Amino acid sequence: MMRTLDCAASTALPPGLPLAASAGTRPLRILLLATGLRLGGAERQVMALAQRYAELGHAVRVVSLTDGVEVAPGAGVELASLAMRKTPWSFAAALWRLRRLVRAWRPDVVHSHMIHANLLARALASVGGMPLPICTAHSYREGGAASMLAYRLSDRWSRLTTHVGAEGRDRMVALRAAPADRIVVVPNGIDTMRFQPDPAARRAARQALGLADGERLVMHVGRLVAEKAQARLIDAFALACPGDGMRLLIAGGGPLRDALQRRIDAAGLRERALLLGPRGDIPALLNAADLFVLSSDIEGMPLVIGEALACGCPVVSTDAAGVAAIAGAHARIVPRGDTAALAAAIAQMLPAGRGDEAAQAARHRHVATTLGLDGIAGQWLALYRQYALGAGEAGVEPA
C-alpha cells in the first residue's frame, strides 16, 4: 500500500516510525541540503520551507552543493556552499566540508533535496559524519539505472526517502531504488499568502510589461531545459494565437535560451513572444497572466501549477507527473508531446481569460486547502521530531 503524506491527512509513516507529535516543541536545528539554489521549483521549495521554519523559531541552515544563488534566503536563514564541481576530487572535498560543517553546527535533523545532495548526505552518514538524513526526490525521472542503483545501495544510510509525487514514488519502488515501506509521498507546499489573486499587482505588472487593455497574456515559468519542452509551447502558441492582441512570456533561464529564441524568430513571433530570463517577481507575473501553460514532458510535482492557480490564473498543462494531483478539476490537461492538443486548449481557454472574482477565488481556495505551505511545513516538523527527540532513533537502523 502506498503511504502518502498530504495536507488533508494525518502524517503516515512506515512501520517502526510512530508519530510522537506530543513529545515536545523545543526549537530544532534543521540543516537543509540542496544540490543547488538556481531558480527551479525544488530550489524554491527548499527556501520556502527554510523561511517558514525560521519564522517558527527554529535554527535553519541551507547548504548548497554548488555555487550560485538565484533563490535568496530570507531573514533568519543561514546559507553556505560546498563549492562542488563535476570531478571525483571535488566530491571528496565537498564531503569533507560538509562533515566539518555538520560537526561544528550539530543539527538535530538533516533533510536533503535532489539526487546529488541525497547521495552526498548518505555517503557522509555511511562513515558516521552526521545523522542519517531524510532524503527527498523531486523529479519523476530521478535518474537513470546508475542513479537508481546508487539509491538502492545507499538506502540503509537514510532514515527515510520521500518523493514529491505519487507517480515518482511508484517509479522508484518499481526500479527498486527504495523499498516500498521506506518511501512516502510528501507534496511541495505553496505559500498562499504570497501567491494569491491581487488586482493591484496585476495592473502594475501588465503596465510594466507594456500590455494593452484587453490584450491576452499566456505565461510560462520554468527552467529552459529539454524536459520542459518550451519549444512545443512556442509552436502551440503560434498555432493557437496567429493574430495580434495575444502575447507569450516565458520566465526562466537555462541552456536552451538561444535555441528557443531561434524558434521564436522562425515562427514569426519576435514581436509577440518574449524570453524574460530569471525573474524574482513570479507572483506578479502570474497575476498579470490570463492563462498559464505548462508544456513539460517530465516533472515530479510542478509547483508552478499550484502557484498559478493560487494567483487565480487558469491553467493548461500536459499530463506530466504530478499535474493532476495538484490541479484537480482546475486545469485543462492534454497529452504530453501533442502540440495540436496543446494549441487547441490554449485557443479554447485564452479568450475567456481569468474569469470573475469567484472563479479566481475558487482556484486559490483549492490550493490553500490542499497544498498550503503551513500545513506541509507542519507535517515536516512533526516528522523531524521523530529523529530530533529520539523517538525515531530505534525505528530504522542501518542494515
Domains of the chain (ranges; CATH) run 21-189+373-388 (3.40.50.2000), 199-371 (3.40.50.2000)
**What is the number of other CB atoms lying within 10 angstroms of the CB of residue 133?**
26
The pLDDT of residue 200 is 98
Name the band, by pLDDT with cuts 50, 70 and 90, for residue 102: very high
How far is 177 from 137, CA to CA, in rounded Å? Answer: 11
Q: Are 353 and 332 within 8 A, CB to CB?
A: no
Find out whether 151 and 173 touch, Cβ atoms under 8 Å: no
pLDDT value, residue 193 = 94
Which residue stretches of the chain are H helix? 41-55, 88-105, 115-126, 145-154, 166-174, 199-208, 230-240, 257-266, 282-288, 303-310, 323-327, 339-349, 357-371, 373-388
Query: pLDDT tens digit string along 197-242?
Result: 999 999 999 999 999 999 999 999 999 999 999 999 999 999 999 9
Least confident of 55-69, 118-132, 385-399: 385-399
- Above pLDDT 90, what percent of the chain? 78
**Does the reported pTM lie above 0.85?**
no
Give the pLDDT confidence score for residue 21 in this predicted structure: 35
Helices 115-126 and 145-154: angle between axes, nearest 10 degrees: 30
More confident residue, 381 or 72: 381
Amino acid 308 reads: A
Torsion angle of alpha carbons 375, 294, 221, 81, nearest 10°? 60
Assign 10 a pLDDT band (cuts: 50, 70, 90): very low
Residue 97: pLDDT above 80? yes
Using pLDDT thresholds of 50, 70 and 90, give the confidence band for residue 86.
confident
Give the Cα-Cα-Cα angle 156, 161, 152 (nearest 5 degrees).
45
Q: What is the pLDDT of residue 7?
A: 34
User: C-alpha angle with apex 173: 170 to 177, nearest 5 degrees?
Assistant: 130
Q: Check residue 89 and give its pLDDT.
A: 86
Q: If you average pLDDT over every residue of the chain, what do you get?
A: 89
Report, as an integer, the average pLDDT of 315-321. Answer: 96
Instruction: Report the 10 Å Cβ neighbour count for 280.
Output: 11
> In the prediction, which pLDDT does 11 show?
35
